[in-house]
């Protein structure tokens, strides 16, 4: 997570490129999220102050749209497609398998910050259904068993870094 | 530069390209998902290794998504050969074989674009192209979407050039003759919308292209924008001229980053050549286009909700009238059309309204574009004349049902559409026939379902989507769909009563009547059509606690047939993700029904020579001893 002060600075810089017009709210939210990875409460306050509108109105808009997130994503953000083609090919089973394997529910980020799980309505590559996207890599034609396999390298990487971190702190 | 000079320059660039060798690689989102960018890298490496200087052009989508990544190798004086499902591993062979040598590697090819009659498959003679008529898709996958000259060399912007020489009235007149109806789903006559906007008082006026494609399983608009974006831009400029607007916006989902990137490039190139700007093609008319990136809300596809989103508000629809043509963006007259509607306009102006009207049926003119997905063999995109039957689309173009399964239903129009059974496969695709059958044209998503899909579960899926995407403004849409979802959840879990059917029907009518916009008014369609055509499945779930397709987890169990189980094999034990299967070596394997997550992995991994795992529904089919075990376990 980016430190609060840095985040404020980043938001201020983005605000500098915009006019104080209400129509800029959504592009502003989009740019801040692209920069910070999510929308921290403080950033929403700062946007509200800038546009001179009530903070609750900014929240109203931000929570309306699917794109906006209010918690940081995991290092290995995992997206499961729940579009029609994926659903018909067993998307629900894939989602259940991911929840089971990652020990988090959809919409959550794991406590250690490694994995987060999100469902989306359709990513539009229906010929590969059912599809899971882990850290921007598309995993086609998934089965519950393949979910387990697909996660292994990421889990290993996460664990490896954990060990490395520990040994560093020891030395 | 005059248009003639621009056009000549583009044509000579295109002809020069044809005189040399080049490689086309489809890198639209679907191609990328299948690994097209790795293929691009492999070609670059392969060409360098061979010391060859051959142009690689990243193109859009040919509509043959099932065959991605697609590569076309073009050599002067030789056949243009298209290769399907290309992987980096086979690229060196293609480079050595055909780019450097004379072996077209036909065993790896999907077919050729020239010739015919030879040993290779001649792609234009594939069965699907007998029924397709590609207007919007005509250049998709063959020309570079990031090079405006490719578009111009293939006739692009000549519609605009012609339009600027005639009066706005005459343009709208051509549109009227053409019979073009809005391709966003509702099918409102395009010329009427344009006429209303033109006559509306108040300036400035705006043109908006609705590219907020949110329907799960539909990606036509994305393909058009990624593969041939200039036709949409040209259509919008003509619209601006016809209604008297100087500013246009393309409202596109932020989830389509590649489409946004390619539109940006296209806009820049169009500005540079003077198709956009203050004095278009040296005349008095000026028009500008900007991109507005939508933040993801299905309801934003509704016209008034889209305008609200563009103004920076929650994307909630408002009552109409006033229409957008009177009070749209910033309360000014606004023309809003779908991506495909705009894409048809340049062709209509160039070739005439009568030409367009000669294609299609009495009430629906031109072509319709569909994405074919689900259980169909050839997932992809198709463009057919209106009036083509569903069966031609599913069987002749889509190649029928994958894996030799039985056809069950085809779902058209996404969450707003309906599921149609086999008996209706002969109805023609046009606005009115589909509406009569209880479905709708929608934006063009078509999902095929087979015997392994449960229709009650499908209805539950769509209502779940509508519930999540309801903006919450109207009570019936917000809470009515939620109640429908609860009832459907009960039915699929075996808790339904026979009265639920009447209750669902009544609620469906109420939601339709009590909702302001299209989302709510059409949300019950999947439930209504599945009840109309597949009522037996609802009754089986309710009366027999049986899911005929054996999909609904609460009504289905997996069982290992003791006399078929090999005993020595442990495939199922080793792969079961919940460790629900027990049995020592040499023993019959038994599924612990409490632990079982019904994922079906055991059925998949059980070697075909044993085929010992079966799926049973209702649960009572489980042999008695196992059932008692199950109860005891609970």
Tens-digit pLDDT profile for residues B65-108: 999 999 999 998 888 999 999 999 999 999 999 999 999 999 99
Cα atoms found within 13 Å of the Cα of residue B161, Cβ hemisphere only:
15
* CATH number (domain holding residue B583): 3.30.70.20
Q: How far apart are CA B626 and CA B634, in angstroms?
A: 12
SS3 at position B476: helix
- What is the mean predicted confidence (pLDDT) over B276-283? 96
* CATH number (domain holding residue B515): 1.20.1440.230
- What is the mean predicted confidence (pLDDT) over A23-34? 96
Same-domain pairing of B272 and B292: yes
Quote the percentage of chain B above a pLDDT of 70: 98
β-pair type (B407-412, B81-83):
unpaired
Same-domain pairing of B274 and B407: no
Q: Is B5 exposed, middle or buried (0-12, 13-18, 19+ CB in 10 A)?
A: exposed
Residue A2: predicted pLDDT: 58
Token digits of residue B136: 């919007």
Same-domain pairing of B317 and B289: yes
**Where do runs of H (alpha helix) occur along A52-139?**
55-64, 84-88, 91-102
Quote the percentage of chain A above a pLDDT of 90: 80
Q: How far is B131 from chain A (nearest CA, A)?
A: 21
Same-domain pairing of B71 and B85: yes
CB of B417 within 8 A of CB of B442? yes
Structural domain contains residue B593:
yes
Residue B97: predicted pLDDT: 94
Residue A171: predicted pLDDT: 40
Same-domain pairing of B176 and B282: yes
CB of B128 within 8 A of CB of B65? no
Q: How far apart are CA B228 and CA B615, in angstroms?
A: 47
Identify from A25, A32, A64 which residue to disrupt to test chain B contact, counting B C-beta atoms within 10 A and taking the largest count. Answer: A64
Residue A157: predicted pLDDT: 93
| Residue in chain B nearest A62 by alpha carbon | B314
Q: Is B357 exposed, middle or buried (0-12, 13-18, 19+ CB in 10 A)?
A: middle
Q: How far is A167 from chain B (nearest CA, A)?
A: 33
Tens-digit pLDDT profile for residues B293-309: 999 899 999 999 999 99
- What is the mean predicted confidence (pLDDT) over B26-55? 94
Using alpha carbons, list the distances in angstroms from residue A92 to B408, B448, B598.
20, 18, 11
The backbone torsions φ and ψ at residue B188, rounded to the nearest 5 degrees and listed phi first, read: -70, 135
Smallest Cβ–Cβ distance between B312 and the set A23, A90, A131 belongs to: A23
CB of A36 within 8 A of CB of A10? yes
Q: How far apart are CA B64 and CA B62, in angstroms?
A: 6
Whether the predicted model's global pTM rises above the 0.80 cut: yes
Identify from B252, B295, B298, B468 which residue to disrupt to test chain A contact, counting A C-beta atoms within 10 A and taking the largest count. Answer: B295
Contacts of A143 in chain B (CB under 8 A): 599, 601, 604
Q: How far apart are CA B234 and CA B407, in angstroms?
A: 41
Token digits of residue B402: 């994958």
Query: Is pLDDT of B443 > 90?
Result: no
pLDDT confidence tier of residue B186, bands split at 50, 70 and 90 = confident
Token digits of residue B503: 């209750």
Token digits of residue B550: 């054996």
Tell me whether residues A22 and B219 touch, CB distance under 8 A: no
Cis peptide before B384 (omega within 30 of 0): no
Q: How far apart are CA B40 and CA B51, in angstroms?
A: 16
Residue B290: predicted pLDDT: 97
Residue A82: predicted pLDDT: 92
Domains located in chain A, CATH noted:
4-64 (1.10.10), 76-170 (3.40.30.10)
Identify from A31, A124, A132, A141 which residue to disrupt to test chain B contact, counting B C-beta atoms within 10 A and taking the largest count. Answer: A124
Domain count, chain B: 5
DSSP state string for B165-220? TS-HHHHHHHHHHHT-B-TTSS--BHHHHHHHHHH---SS-EEEEEE----TT--H
Ramachandran region, residue B497 (left: φ > 0; alpha: ψ -120 to 50; beta: rest): beta
Q: Which residues form the domain of B409?
A: 368-450
pLDDT confidence tier of residue A166, bands split at 50, 70 and 90 = low
Structural domain contains residue B150:
no
Sheet strand arrangement including B445-450: B380-385, B367-374, B445-450, B407-412, B418-421
pLDDT confidence tier of residue B171, bands split at 50, 70 and 90 = very high
Tell me whether residues A127 and B68 touch, CB distance under 8 A: yes
Structural domain contains residue B48:
yes
Comparing B116-120, B226-230, B464-468, the range with the smallest average pLDDT is B116-120
Same-domain pairing of B199 and B334: yes
* CATH number (domain holding residue B245): 3.40.50.11540
Smallest Cβ–Cβ distance between A64 and the set B314, B575, B605 belongs to: B314
Short-list A164, A12, A65, CA closest to B314: A65
DSSP B304: H
CB of B498 within 8 A of CB of B543? yes
Same-domain pairing of B329 and B187: yes
Q: Which residues contact B235 (CB under 8 A, 6 or more apart)?
A: B341, B342, B343, B344, B345, B346
Same-domain pairing of B203 and B275: yes
β-pair type (B22-26, A137-139):
unpaired
Query: Is pLDDT of B559 > 90?
Result: yes
Cα atoms found within 13 Å of the Cα of residue B298, Cβ hemisphere only:
28
Tens-digit pLDDT profile for residues B389-427: 999 999 999 999 999 999 999 999 889 899 999 999 999
Q: How far is A64 from chain B (nearest CA, A)?
A: 6
DSSP B589: -
Query: Between chain A and chain B, how many beta carbons pairs sit less than 8 Å apart?
Result: 134
Q: How far is B418 from chain A (nearest CA, A)?
A: 13
Query: Is pLDDT of B323 > 90?
Result: yes
Smallest Cβ–Cβ distance between B577 and the set A100, A126, A140 belongs to: A100
CB of B286 within 8 A of CB of B297? no
Domain termination site, one of B356, B386, B410? B356
Quote the percentage of chain B above a pLDDT of 90: 88
Q: How far is A90 from chain B (nearest CA, A)?
A: 9
Cα atoms found within 13 Å of the Cα of residue B580, Cβ hemisphere only:
21
- Mean pLDDT, chain B, integer: 94
Q: Show the CA angle centred on residue B622, arms to residues B619 and B626, nearest 5°.
A: 120
H or E element that contains B98: none
Contacts of B379 in chain A (CB under 8 A): 85, 126-127
Smallest Cβ–Cβ distance between B373 and the set A85, A97, A148 belongs to: A85
Token digits of residue B362: 């009495």
Residue A161: predicted pLDDT: 76
Same-domain pairing of B411 and B268: no
Residue B295: predicted pLDDT: 93
| Residue in chain B nearest A122 by alpha carbon | B216
Tell me whether residues B599 and A68 touch, CB distance under 8 A: no
Listed ranges B79-83, B186-190, B286-290; the one with the highest mean pLDDT: B286-290
- ipTM score here? 0.92
DSSP B619: G
CB of B210 within 8 A of CB of B339? yes
pLDDT confidence tier of residue B628, bands split at 50, 70 and 90 = very low
A94 contacts chain B (CB < 8 A): no
Same-domain pairing of B183 and B258: yes
Same-domain pairing of B476 and B491: yes
Which residues on adjacent β-strands are paired with residue A76?
A115
Comparing A160-169, B273-282, B487-496, the range with the smallest average pLDDT is A160-169
Same-domain pairing of B166 and B114: no
Which residues on adjacent β-strands are paired with residue B209?
B250, B337
């Amino acid at each position: 997570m980016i430190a609060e002060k840095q985040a404020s600075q980043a938001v201020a810089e983005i605000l500098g490129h915009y006019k104080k017009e209400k129509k800029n709210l959504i592009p502003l939210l989009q740019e801040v999220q692209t920069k910070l990875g999510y929308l921290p409460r403080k950033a929403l306050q700062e946007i509200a102050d800038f546009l001179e509108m009530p903070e609750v109105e900014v929240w109203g808009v931000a929570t309306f749209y699917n794109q906006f997130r209010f918690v940081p994503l995991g290092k290995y953000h995992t997206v499961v497609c729940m579009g029609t083609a994926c659903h018909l090919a067993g998307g629900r089973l894939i989602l259940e398998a991911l929840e089971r394997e990652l020990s988090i529910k959809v919409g959550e980020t794991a406590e250690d910050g490694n994995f987060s799980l999100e469902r989306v309505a359709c990513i539009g590559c229906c010929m590969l259904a059912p599809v899971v996207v882990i850290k921007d890599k598309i995993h086609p034609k998934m089965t519950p068993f393949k979910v387990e396999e697909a996660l292994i390298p990421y889990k290993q990487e996460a664990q490896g870094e954990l060990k490395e971190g520990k040994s560093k702190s020891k030395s | 530069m005059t248009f003639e000079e621009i056009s000549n320059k583009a044509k000579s660039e295109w002809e020069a390209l044809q005189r040399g060798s080049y490689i086309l690689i489809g890198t639209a989102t679907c191609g990328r998902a299948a690994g097209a960018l790795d293929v691009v890298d492999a070609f670059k490496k392969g060409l360098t290794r061979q010391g060859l200087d051959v142009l690689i052009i990243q193109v859009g989508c040919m509509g043959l998504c099932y065959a991605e990544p697609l590569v076309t190798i073009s050599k002067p004086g030789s056949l243009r050969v298209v290769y399907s499902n290309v992987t980096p591993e086979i690229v060196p062979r293609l480079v050595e074989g055909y780019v450097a040598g004379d072996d077209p590697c036909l065993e790896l090819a999907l077919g050729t674009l020239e010739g015919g009659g030879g040993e290779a498959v001649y792609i234009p003679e594939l069965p699907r192209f007998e029924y397709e008529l590609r207007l919007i898709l005509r250049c998709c996958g063959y020309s570079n979407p990031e090079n405006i000259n490719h578009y111009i060399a293939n006739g692009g912007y000549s519609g605009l050039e012609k339009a600027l020489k005639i009066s706005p009235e005459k343009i709208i007149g051509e549109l009227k003759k053409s019979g073009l109806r809005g391709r966003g789903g509702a099918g409102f006559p395009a010329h009427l919308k344009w006429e209303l906007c033109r006559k509306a008082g108040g300036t400035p006026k705006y043109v908006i292209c609705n590219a907020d494609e949110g329907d799960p399983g539909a990606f036509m608009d994305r393909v058009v924008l990624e593969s041939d974006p200039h036709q949409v831009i040209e259509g919008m400029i003509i619209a601006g001229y016809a209604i008297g607007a100087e500013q246009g916006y393309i409202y596109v989902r932020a989830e389509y980053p590649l489409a946004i990137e390619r539109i940006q490039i296209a806009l820049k190139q169009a500005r540079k050549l003077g198709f956009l700007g203050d004095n278009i093609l040296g005349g008095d008319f000026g028009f500008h286009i900007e991109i507005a990136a939508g933040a993801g809300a299905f309801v934003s596809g509704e016209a008034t909700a889209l305008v609200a989103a563009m103004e920076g508000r929650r994307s909630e629809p408002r009552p109409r009238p006033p229409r957008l043509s009177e009070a749209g963006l910033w309360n000014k007259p606004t023309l809003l059309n779908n991506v495909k509607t705009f894409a048809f306009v340049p062709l209509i102006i160039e070739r005439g309204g009568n030409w367009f009207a000669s294609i299609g049926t009495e009430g629906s003119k031109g072509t319709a574009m569909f994405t074919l997905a689900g259980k169909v063999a050839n997932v992809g995109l198709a463009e057919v004349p209106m009036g083509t039957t569903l069966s031609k689309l599913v069987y002749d173009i889509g190649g029928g049902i994958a894996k030799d399964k039985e056809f069950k239903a085809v779902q058209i129009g996404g969450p707003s559409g309906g599921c149609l059974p086999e008996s209706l496969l002969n109805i023609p695709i046009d606005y009115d026939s589909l509406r009569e059958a209880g479905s709708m044209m929608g934006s063009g998503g078509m999902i095929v379902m087979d015997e392994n899909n449960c229709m009650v579960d499908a209805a539950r899926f769509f209502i779940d989507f509508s519930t999540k995407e309801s903006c919450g403004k109207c009570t019936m849409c917000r809470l009515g769909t939620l109640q429908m979802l609860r009832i459907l959840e009960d039915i699929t879990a075996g808790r339904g009563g026979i009265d639920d059917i009447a209750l669902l029907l009544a609620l469906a009518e109420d939601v339709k009547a009590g909702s302001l916009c299209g989302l709510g008014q059409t949300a019950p369609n999947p439930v209504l059509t599945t009840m109309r055509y597949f009522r037996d499945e609802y009754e089986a779930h309710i009366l027999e606690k049986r899911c005929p397709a054996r999909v609904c987890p609460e009504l289905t169990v997996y069982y290992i047939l003791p006399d078929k189980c090999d005993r020595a094999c442990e495939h199922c034990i080793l792969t079961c993700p919940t460790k629900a299967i027990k049995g020592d070596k040499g023993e019959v394997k038994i599924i612990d029904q409490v632990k079982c997550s019904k994922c079906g992995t055991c059925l998949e991994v059980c070697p075909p020579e044993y085929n010992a795992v079966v799926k049973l529904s209702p649960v009572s089919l489980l042999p008695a001893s196992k059932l008692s075990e199950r109860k005891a376990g609970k």
